[in-house]
Structure 1
Amino acid sequence: MHAKSQHLFDDATRITAGDSRWQGRTSPDYWAFVGPFGGFTAATILRALMEHPQVAGDPLAVTVNYCAPIAEGAFDLDLRLVKANRSSQHWYVELSQEGREPATLATAVFAERRPSWSQAQVTMPEAQPFEKIRRYPDVAASWTRQYDFRFVEGLVDMAAGVELQQPGSAFSKLWIGDRVPRKIDALSLLAMSDAFFARIFHVKGEIVPIGTVSLTTHFHADAEDLSREDITHVLGVADAKIFHKSYGDQNGELWSPSGRLLATTTQMTYFKA
């Protein structure tokens, strides 16, 4: 049995090492409507990779495809190093339960990031400071209660449950942090990249059945960069371009309060409306 760590996120995403097959467990604290919060699943997979003895470098890109529901309880992670060279590694992960077909498939690229010429083509969106914005109230899903959401723009009233007469904007801008503050690292960045409320909730003004099908997150800061930032919350912006024949897209950015772009993310979601 593992001793409790100081933060719930680390306890929930804890994994047990094996040879090629590692094990994790779902957490009631990071549960969505019919299964685990997708960001929790992605972060647990990334933790297993980051703790693998063969891993080298920092996460550069992670793609997670959610193939089937994950039931409450233990799950297995089959980790495979597919290709490695001097500067990067390519990993493949299958998540399954009780020997059944995989419920989640993931790929990840790790890279040794070396000093180079740098230039940012985008600047951080303007936003009121985190401390000056009221925290968003709790909603039904337990995973949302583990986060501190503070909307700068694009607030959605998830409790109203009344469909808008005209489609609303899919854009939102908000500060995101762990409810119990935790220093931002690659694991929390990946989880937070899936923490935006579904874009269709904003557009329709009501909660409809949805599920993430595929999530890709690109990291623009390594462990040294994140340690230097020394932050516990990020500014997130998210938007969508189209909802069509039961699927919709989402794109997002995660910024440090100092104005550094830490991660970008895209995803496709299924919806029933």
Structure 2
Amino acid sequence: MHAKLPHLFDEATRVTAGDSRWQGHTSDDYWAFVGPFGGATAATVLRALIEHPERAGDPLSMTVNYCAPIAKGAFDLDVRLVKANRSSQHWCVELSQDGGEVATLATAVFAERRPSWSHQVAKFPDATPFEQTLPFPKIKASWANQYEFRFVEGEMRIGPPQAELASTYSKLWISDRVPRKLDMPSLMSMSDAFFGRIFHARRELVPFGTVSLTTYFHTAADELAAEDITRVLATADAKIYHRSYGDQTAELWSPNGRLLATTTQIAYFKA
């Protein structure tokens, strides 16, 4: 029997440990228009933290600041445990290339998630089943073609500009195009796997890029594994675009009705 080949996502986010720095490598399979897909970069950083021998607990939150373009090729990850106590750890990760300046700066909190009172205030969105929702066509950016997007509502439509702006709200199923069981790194990556809300509003592609992304995890690794899922139902929206920057908020849900993660970001645009 032939050994099963690693999933492209695992190849793209693979890290190796060094003496003082970890190493990773960009992937052509997860490339955006001018650089690596930000979700894959964030997932690579998270994987380094999860695999770090001093790590304790599960990801609770992660903020990724994209400071400068990342060129194709290898990069270094300077991983530091800033502060730890009995229940949480605070980490800082700096991504750089060829000994140069920092291109990505990330902070993360890991925590021991102990049994407690639970109450999910948010309601699971109504949606047509995954199997009954049509997939979105492939596009030029390679990263997007590693995912399958099935829009329940708010599909991106590029066309002639209209007098009235379109809605920035979307509800969609997101899965790896080659199915892969969801784990924390892939949940992190999917939290950035949305088309820019400005594309939806203006019905056109404009220069756009995430500046800062924060994702909050509402599940522990063992709970996510027990969900045994390969896709999420997601909602995404924006509140404001002003003087070259705009926001985006999103929720990622298990098909079983559990809120897995919420995320917010600020992005640059030119329009």
Query: Which of 238, 243, 246 in structure 2 is aligned with 1:245?
Result: 243
SS at match of 1:188: helix
Equivalents in 2 of 1:191, 1:28: separation in Å?
16
Cα root mean square deviation, aligned:
1.1
Separation in structure 2 between the aligned mates of residue 68 and residue 150 of structure 1, nearest angstrom = 32
Query: Aligned partner of 2:210: which letter?
Result: T
In the alignment, what sits opposite 1:111?
111
Q: C-alpha deviations, 1:11-70, integer Å up to 9, x for none?
A: 110011112300000000000000000000000000000000000010000000000000
Q: Give the corresponding residue for 1:147.
A: 147
Please say if residues 42 and 191 of structure 1, whose CA atoms lie closer than 8 Å, have aligned partners that are also in contact.
yes
Distance in 2 between residues matched to 1:182 and 1:24, nearest whole Å = 21
Match of 1:226 in 2: 224
2:191 and 2:57 map into 1 onto residues whose CA distance is: 21
Percent sequence identity over matched residues?
70
TM-score computed with the length of structure 2 as normaliser: 0.97
Q: How far did residue 164 of structure 1 move?
A: 2.7
Q: Aligned to 2:107, what secondary structure does the other structure show?
A: strand
Partner of 1:46: 46
| CA positional deviation for 1:4 | 8.0
Question: How many angstroms does 1:169 deviate by?
Answer: 0.6
**Cα deviation 1:115-146 (Å, max 9, x = unaligned):** 00000111111000001111111011000010
In 2, Cα distance between equivalents of 1:92 and 1:156: 35
Give the number of aligned pairs: 269
Cα distance in 1 for partners of 2:188, 2:47 equals 10
> Cα 1:5–1:14, aligned 2, differ >3 Å: closer, same or farther?
farther
Q: 1:23 maps to which residue?
A: 23
Q: CA deviation at 1:228?
A: 1.2
Partner AA of 1:45 in structure 2: V
1:216 aligns with 2:200: no
1:164 aligns with 2:165: no
Quick check: 1:20–1:80 contact (8 Å CA) kept in 2?
no
SS in 1 for 2:95: strand
Aligned partner of 1:13 in structure 2 is 13
Q: What TM-score, normalized by structure 1, do the two folds share?
A: 0.97
Change (3 A) 1:101 1:78: same
Equivalent residue for 1:123? 123
Within 1, Cα distance between the matches of 2:270 and 2:30?
Answer: 23
Q: State whether structure 2 residue 70 is matched by structure 1 residue 70.
A: yes
* 1:205 alignment partner AA: R
User: C-alpha distance in 2, partners of 1:5/1:53?
Assistant: 26
- In structure 1, what is the Cα distance between the partners aligned to 2:119 and 2:232? 21
Q: Structure 2, unaligned stretches of length 5 or more?
A: none
Residues 171, 15 of structure 1: CA spacing in aligned structure 2 closer, same or farther, 3 A cutoff? same
8 Å contact kept, 1:62–1:106: yes
Q: Residue 5 of structure 1 contacts residue 11 of structure 1 at CA under 8 Å; is this kept in 2? A: no
| Counterpart-to-counterpart distance in 2, 1:20 and 1:185 | 27
Q: Aligned residue for 1:262?
A: 260
Structure 1: gaps spanning 5 or more residues: none
CA apart distance, 1:6 = 2.5
Deviations 1:154-197 (A, max 9, x none): 01124x4x323211111000000000000011111100000011
| 1:4 and 1:11 in contact (8 A); partners too | no
Query: AA paired with 1:146?
Result: Q
Structure 2 counterpart of 1:166, one-letter code: E
